[in-house]
Structure 1
Amino acid sequence: MTRTPDSLDSEARDVVPGTQESLVEQAAATSRVDDEPTTANQRQPAGYRHWIIAWACVAYSVFHLLVMNVYPLETWTYRLTHVGGGLVLGFLLYGATAMSDAATTRRSALSVALLGLAAAGVLYGLFAVSAIWYNGRILGEAIPPRWAMDSFGIPLTVGTALAILHGWIFPHEDAERFSPADMILAAAAVASTAYLIFFARQLQLRAGMPMALPGDMWAAITGVLLIIELTRRLAGLALVIIASVFVAYAFLGPWLPGIFEHRGYTAKRFFSYIYTDNGILSAPIAISSTYIILFVIFAAFLQTTRVGEYFVKLAFAAAGHRRGGPAKVSIFASGLMGMINGTSAGNVVATGSLTIPMMKRVGYTPQTSASVEAAASTGGQIMPPIMGAGAFIMAEITGISYMEIVWAAIVPAVLYFISVYFMIDLAAQKANMKGLPRELLPKLDALLKQIYLFTPIVVLIYALFAGYSVIRCGTLAMITAAVVSWLTPHRMGPKQLFHALENGARMVLQLVAVCATAGIIVGVIALTGIGSRFSTVLLTLADQSQFLALFFAMVVSIILGMGMPTTAAYAVAASVIAPGVINLGVEPLVAHLFIFYFAVMSAITPPVALAAYAGSALAGSDPLKTSVESFRIGLAAFVVPYMFFFSPAMLLQGTGFEIAHVAVTAVAGVYLLAAAVQGWFMGPANWFVRGSLAVGGLTMIAGGWLTDAIGLGIAAVLVVMQRRVLSARDLAHGAD
């Protein structure tokens, strides 16, 4: 049911009788729970358990900040600690969900037996690893105890598998106590990680080779089981299934046909190889353990000090009263926070809890409100300078400098947000929507007096473009956020600092799990050579056509991204597809940005659209319909990569005039596409007008003078037609 502005105004006044508190402040107060994305199986800790987890999270965050800024560790040791610590925290904080509804509530002899066997195996493994450590570090003996090296592995791995099985059958729901099975899994993570750290240097020499030890294999198998299980709990089954298929492929190669055939690998060689910087500890975890955790903690600082909330309030004060204002506000707020956040779905939860209720209040349906938030939040992943850590991963994989990637991504990212703005504005015109009442919005003049709260973002951007290291830039921005908070009522003291560090660790756990799982896939690709063979097939199918190769790359990137967070999807897609596209002559920067954009946009692509699903949960809308509408709103993102393929000037590769020409005509093109999608061009547009608008917009993709002239010519003709049609309609209504 569509509500009139008067009814909206009266409803708003009913919400805040006798008070000057703004709607935005109320929404912020009700949405400020823990400020981090949650999952269905997250247990909110209570009692002593809360404080144990809180201190462990703070220690995890502080460890990373110290290593990055003060006391560097050897690379392998640091990455292994990053993964192992994330596993321990993940199992203590996130409970298992049942694989089926059967026998989930009854504690039985089976439960006791599984727990007993699991505990015995893991405790023995932990004891043996402790003996190895004691013998080497305390006694200083180079040769570890033979009994420990020979016997710790099988009990540890079997115990881990039984504890995982117990969690599937008998999930634990008591927030007052730790789950026994999850405590066993945390202990298993400590044991396997400690072994791998202790033998890190030797592993680098013998990984994947005949001299690999059985202990290397069992510690790695245990680690892989733990990573897969934590990913299942935090990211669902999609990524787990994909990773499992790749692991199976490593062993089934000799029996597979065509390009999929390979000679196969023994378990010892495969697992000792996969838990190295060729696999789990490769680029995704390298980025997760540095840039991602740094900027996630920075985002936690912004949330805890409510500096991030100020960005949203300022946007509401500036645009909340305009046509469809709250939806336009979400573009700014979600884009700004999304570039820092590192995950589209997490950003939807963080900012959507504030913007979605406001959109619904001015007349947007729940489905449209969720769709707008999902499209805006997803766009944050392509917005420089952070790009949700995408720029850092791309620089690591390609060797292209970080600053070159950031500069190149500016125009396409701005173009995407302009297109989303057009979509929202045209939808608001079509529905004759009004904005929120001014008296119920934050006061712009008062907020402008606090413009200094933008200082953390200004410091971050200035430091990045001044040439400081990314880690130094993030740390400076974090410190600035804390200092700026001292000028507000929400001054950051020890309690707030503790909460920010705790929250940062919680927010990063999902990314740790999925980056490690993505590393498994990357390792299989590197070991088996399937990436190069797939690239060969891609080249054959494309038949030397760069356009066809990019089309196939788009399809594969979107498919891989369904169910995967951005970082994992891009890392895998870049390993499989990018080499083939580059071999056809596409510039490496263009190829990787192309793949990255579509990996990002998979978050709003049906049928599996994680960002849209997160928004639908907040708005109470149908998930599938929400994903379809978010796809429509973000449609320009599926066109922009082809624009910069045809027009390198869009990546700032060309003269100033060429860049300006491409940027201006691209804006005109996406406006025509938005009008076609929304069915509104100066007024209602019939199917002929919509089809013509789409043709006009698409002709402007190439960025050439002729195609631009065709597109603008079509637009000019349609303007004349629409004026006549609308004038005749107005006269007819006047006569009536």
Structure 2
Amino acid sequence: MSHNTDQDPNGLKDDALAASSTPESIADGVDEEVVESNRRLFVGWQFFLFAALAVAYSGFHLFSLNVYPMETWSFRIVHIAGALILGYGLFAGARFAEDDQQASPAWLKWVSYALLAPAVYSLVQVFLMQQTINGGAMRIDPAVETLHFGYPLMATTAGAIVLSWFYRQARHRFNPADLVLMVCALASAGYLLMAFNTNMRMSTGTSFAPPGISWAAIAGSLLILELTRRVAGLALVVISAVFLTYVFAGPYLPGFLGYPGLSVQRFFSQVYTDAGILGPTTAVSSTYIILFIIFAAFLQASKVGDYFVNFAFAAAGRTRGGPAKVAIFASGLMGMINGTSAGNVVSTGSLTIPLMKKVGYPARSAGAIEAAASTGGQIMPPIMGAGAFIMAEVTGIPYTEIAIAAIIPAILYFASIYFMVDFEAARKGMRGMRKDEIPLFSKLVKQVYLFAPIIILIAALFMGYSVIRAGTLATASAAVVSWLSPNKMGLRAILRALQLAGTMSIQIIAVCACAGLIVGVISLTGVGARFSSLLLGLAGVSQLLALFFAMLISIMLGMGMPTTAAYAVAASVVAPGLINIGIEPLTAHFFVFYFAVVSAITPPVALASYAAAGISGDNPMGTSVASFKIGLAAFIVPFMFFYSPAMLMEGTAMQILRVGLTATLGIVLLSGMVQKWFFGPVNSPQRLVMLVGAMFLIYGGIYTDIAGLAIATVLFIMQRKLHGGKGKATASAA
């Protein structure tokens, strides 16, 4: 609706263009699917084939989780095999050819098709072995398993993986080498399904285990590692390779790293069980994560993401540095259901980063703010990305308790970013967006019902529904609520959402399976127990030293890795050691979880910061350093979990309220210290005093709180006397 706008905060007269109209929406396309650079874009029958496979994959999980449950190991094997088949169909192993001249030579194509014969042969052998078992045999002849299944499967898996690295073709074409890998995934999963549903399951990890289990596990592990490389990069694959090397090199290492050793057969016959790949990480990805990806896909299909971002613009766009504050709100809303920090940067940052630059933020600050805010989405209850589901699985603590415990830390993190942004905007004299540049809040409030699916999810969880039931109910409500909005979900939109969910899930499932491989190494070799003894020794010197060492290990293990994998690995290596030195399980796992999350903005390998730098156009390393500074609170608050358990909602109501309020004030002082601004410029001596006051307030003790409040009061009085007039002026601008 057209209307005349008021004079903007800078006193500039409205011209004819500015007076034209208030935009209905400025966020358009936040819900658009992000297409990775190596994802194939099929056309014709191939598009419909893989769309149908993705829909069937999502539908299978909804059916199994809510209607007809499968046996646990079988369900997880099918879960991983489906992701492998979809992943190799959709994601190429090499860059696409831009024209026919760059395409691979014909002989690569024919070699790939030649490998299809032994791959199919190994798959046929699985059916023949199944018939033998059904005929009453207790096990298969080891020579048959090795010669007719193991060797063909291994040769074709390894050969097709290598060929796929060099096979280049147009983006809409399918690769025969990847077809071979899809057949190998079927053969590997088929054998494991057969073996694990017989008495052979009891022999895993022993010298009596059938060799076929080891061959299937080796091929399956290679397939998981290669798909992880395609969808998540080399970092996790390299770390996995280091751990796998340790399995066989460990007996020759000196000191606490040495261990007796495992044979290839004993290790691989057990690593593809619930001690490794089929363990906690896959347990979570096959239940909670896939369900919430479907939920996010339904929200995306009904354009709720666009609404979230527009709502954030209407609520915060006019404050000083408005787009930066919008990034905080929007990234918090999107990030908790997005699942990855870098993915959140791409979805919301493409809109907020250019707008931040427009109102005066340098490219580096704009990228850093978006990276820090998007990373915070992973610690934002109630969904908290995917890591919190793994925490519930590993610790046995109910998910609702974990979500409640996360409230104060999340408030502190986002308060830190907010005040960092606000003080920088005040110091640089930035304006907010004009009234005619943002949607009308009064219009968006009329569509507040679009928050209903998330409210229903929270209510169902706290009413005692299981996470699966609550997630399914929220997903259904997203489709129902869409009928009240302009983006109604019919049958086609629902199928599109299921297809989108199947595609979106590939990365996180590959990452969880790969993390399970690392967890398997840790549990089967006992390296986690040796790290625990190391932490115990450090704790004898100083518990703070042990916590600092645990922080460094958690960050190093998380560098370059998605949040889910980073936490899963750190929880296996570091958390048991923290528990052994007397820290409560919830506190220990939250400590590890926070540092695994913030590894996404920690130099030198900061995935979220690098993604933001790609949009802002600034130097990636400079952006990661700046985002580290903005997210500084996340590196301090976890230490306070140990010294002040009330931060995790453990204590009386008064203790929790006091700690929450004083810690928030401490975060304000910390932000002012970093940005050199409070009510006005802050000199070096004042910054030092602010840092001391901030640490006292964040610490959480009653005496340190009193001392911190005294320092904050003195600083407040000094700043008001020095900059009272300016403070009022900037406050009115905000």
The TM-score normalised by the length of structure 2 is 0.92
Q: Does 1:532 align with 2:529?
A: yes
Deviation of 1:337 after TM superposition, in Å, equals 2.0
1:621 aligns with 2:622: no
Matched letter for residue 49 of structure 2: I
1:117 Cα offset (Å): 5.2
Give the C-alpha shift of residue 603 in structure 1.
0.8
CA contact (8 A) 2:672 2:678 kept: yes
- Whether the 8 Å contact between 2:379 and 2:385 is mirrored in structure 1 is yes
1:268 to 265, 270, 274: 265
Q: Distance in 1 between matches of 2:208 and 2:142?
A: 16
Kept in 1, the 8 Å contact 2:41–2:172? The answer is no
CA distance in 2, matches of 1:212, 1:651: 45
Counterparts of 1:556-635 in structure 2 under 5 Å?
556-635=553-632
- How do residues 89-100 of structure 1 correspond to structure 2 at under 5 angstroms? 89-97=86-94
Q: Contact 2:103–2:169 at 8 Å: present in 1 too?
A: no
2:699 aligned with 1:699? no
| Mapped partners of 1:588, 1:13: distance in 2 | 62
- 3-state secondary structure, aligned to 1:550: helix
Q: For residues 440 and 169 of structure 2, what CA distance do their matches in structure 1 show?
A: 45
Contact kept in structure 2, 1:518 and 1:572, CA below 8 Å: yes
Distance 1:455 1:168, change over 3 A: same
Trace 1:305-454 onto structure 2 (pairs within 5 A). Answer: 305-454=302-451
Residues in 1 aligned to 2:109 and 2:12: alpha-carbon distance in whole angstroms: 60
- Aligned-residue CA RMSD (Å): 2.6
User: How does 1:4-403 map onto structure 2 within 5 Å?
Assistant: 21-22=23-24, 24-25=25-26, 27-29=27-29, 31-34=30-33, 36=34, 38-97=35-94, 105=102, 107-108=104-105, 111=108, 114-116=111-113, 118-135=115-132, 149-150=145-146, 151-170=148-167, 172-202=168-198, 203-403=200-400
Residues of 1 paired with 2:424 and 2:689: CA distance? 19
Distance 2:243 2:677 in 1: 47
Question: Which amino acid is the alignment partner of residue 120 of structure 2?
Answer: L
Q: C-alpha deviations, 1:442-465, integer Å up to 9, x for none?
A: 111111112211110110000000
Deviation by residue 1:1-43 (Cα, 9 ceiling, x = unmatched): xxxx8999999997x9966544x43x414x5542x4x433222
CA distance in 2, matches of 1:105, 1:13: 53
Alpha-carbon displacement from aligned partner over 1:363-411 (angstroms, at most 9, x marks no partner): 2233222221211111111122221122221121112222222221111
- Out of 654, 658, 670, the residue aligned to residue 657 of structure 1 is 654
Q: In the alignment, is the contact (CA less than 8 A) between 1:128 and 1:148 conserved in 2?
A: no
- Cα distance between partner residues in 2 of 1:162 and 1:10: 69
Distance 1:593 1:129, change over 3 A: same
Q: Distance in 1 between matches of 2:418 and 2:616?
A: 20
Q: Is the 8 A contact 2:319 2:433 kept in 1?
A: yes
- Rounded Cα–Cα distance in structure 2 between residues aligned with 1:241 and 1:10: 59
Structure 1 position 477 matched with structure 2 position 469: no
CA–CA distance in structure 2, aligned partners of residues 654 and 47 of structure 1: 61
**Counterpart amino acid of residue 517 in structure 2:** I
User: Which deviates the most, 719-728 or 638-647?
Assistant: 719-728
In structure 2, list runs of 5 or more residues that go unmatched. 1-7, 728-734
Deviations, residues 430-488 of structure 1 (Å, cap 9, x unaligned): 12111222123211111111221111011000000001000000000000010000111
Q: How far apart, in 2, do the equivalents of 1:528 and 1:554 lie?
A: 23
Larger deviation, residues 389-398 vs 467-476: 389-398
Q: Partner of 1:199: helix, strand, or coil?
A: helix
Give the Cα–Cα distance (whole angstroms) in 1 for the partners of residues 174 and 690 of structure 2: 59
Q: Residue in 2 aligned with 1:733?
A: none
**One-letter amino acid of the counterpart of residue 412, structure 1:** P
Alpha-carbon contact 2:40-2:172 (below 8 Å) kept: no
After superposition, the Cα gap between the structure-2 partners of 1:13 and 1:324, relative to the gap in structure 1 and judged at 3 Å, is farther
Change (3 A) 1:680 1:584: same
Cα 1:413–1:727, aligned 2, differ >3 Å: closer, same or farther?
Answer: closer
My pick for the range that moved more, 331-340 or 706-715, is 706-715
SS of the residue 1:358 aligns to: helix
**CA pair 313-42 structure 1, distance change in 2 beyond 3 A:** same
Tell me the CA shift for residue 145 of structure 1. 8.0
User: Is the 2:313–2:326 Cα contact (8 Å) retained in structure 1?
Assistant: yes
Query: What does residue range 641-680 of structure 1 map to in structure 2 within 5 Å?
Result: 641-680=638-677
| CA spacing shift, 1:485–1:140, aligned 2, 3 Å | farther
The Cα shift of 1:121 comes to: 2.8
Q: Distance in 1 between matches of 2:594 and 2:635?
A: 8
- Contact 1:700 / 1:707 at 8 angstroms: preserved in 2? yes
What is the CA–CA distance in structure 1 between the aligned matches of 2:582 and 2:171, rounded to whole Å?
Answer: 57
- Quick check: 1:640 aligned with 2:637? yes
Q: In the alignment, is the contact (CA less than 8 A) between 1:95 and 1:173 conserved in 2?
A: no
1:223 deviation in Å?
Answer: 0.3
Cα distance in 2 for partners of 1:143, 1:12 equals 84
- One-letter identity of the residue aligned with 1:255: Y
SS of 1:654's equivalent? coil
CA–CA distance in 2 between the matches of 1:491 and 1:397? Answer: 39
Q: Residue 412 and residue 146 in structure 1: after superposition, are their counterparts in 2 closer, same or farther (change >3 A)?
A: closer
Give, in angstroms, the shift of residue 418 of structure 1: 1.3
Deviation for aligned residue 1:116: 5.0
Please tell me the residue identity of whatever aligns with 1:363: G
Question: Equivalent residue for 1:520?
Answer: 517
Verify the 8 A CA contact 1:544 1:584 in the aligned structure 2: no
Work out the CA distance in 1 between the residues paired with 2:555 and 2:394. 19
Q: Report the residue type matching 2:524 in the other structure.
A: L
Alpha-carbon distance in structure 2 between the residues aligned to 1:12 and 1:82: 59
The 3 A distance-change label for structure 1 pair 54 and 207 is same
Note if contact 2:142-2:212 (Cα within 8 Å) is conserved in structure 1: no
Distance 1:462 1:118 in 2: 53
Q: Is the 8 A contact 1:53 1:92 kept in 2?
A: yes
Contact 1:8 1:362 in 2 (8 A): no
Once the 2 structures are TM-superposed, how far is the Cα of residue 345 of structure 1 from its aligned partner?
Answer: 1.3
Q: Corresponding residue for 2:5?
A: none
1:129–1:148 contact (8 Å) kept in structure 2? no
Structure 2 CA distance, aligned partners of 1:116 and 1:10? 70
Q: After the TM superposition, which of the residue ranges 123-132 and 548-557 deviates more from structure 2?
A: 123-132
Shift of 1:136: 5.0
- Whole-Å separation in 2 of the counterparts to 1:97 and 1:13: 52
CA displacement at 1:688 relative to structure 2: 2.3
Letter in 2 for 1:184: V
Name the count of aligned residue pairs.
715
Q: Does the 8 A contact of 1:122 with 1:187 survive in 2?
A: yes
Q: Secondary structure at the match of 2:282?
A: helix
Q: Could you list the per-position Cα deviations for residues 704-732 of structure 1 after superposition, in whole angstroms to 9, with x for gaps in the alignment?
A: 232123223333333344445547999xx
Distance 2:83 2:239 in 1: 21
Q: What letter is aligned with 2:189?
A: T
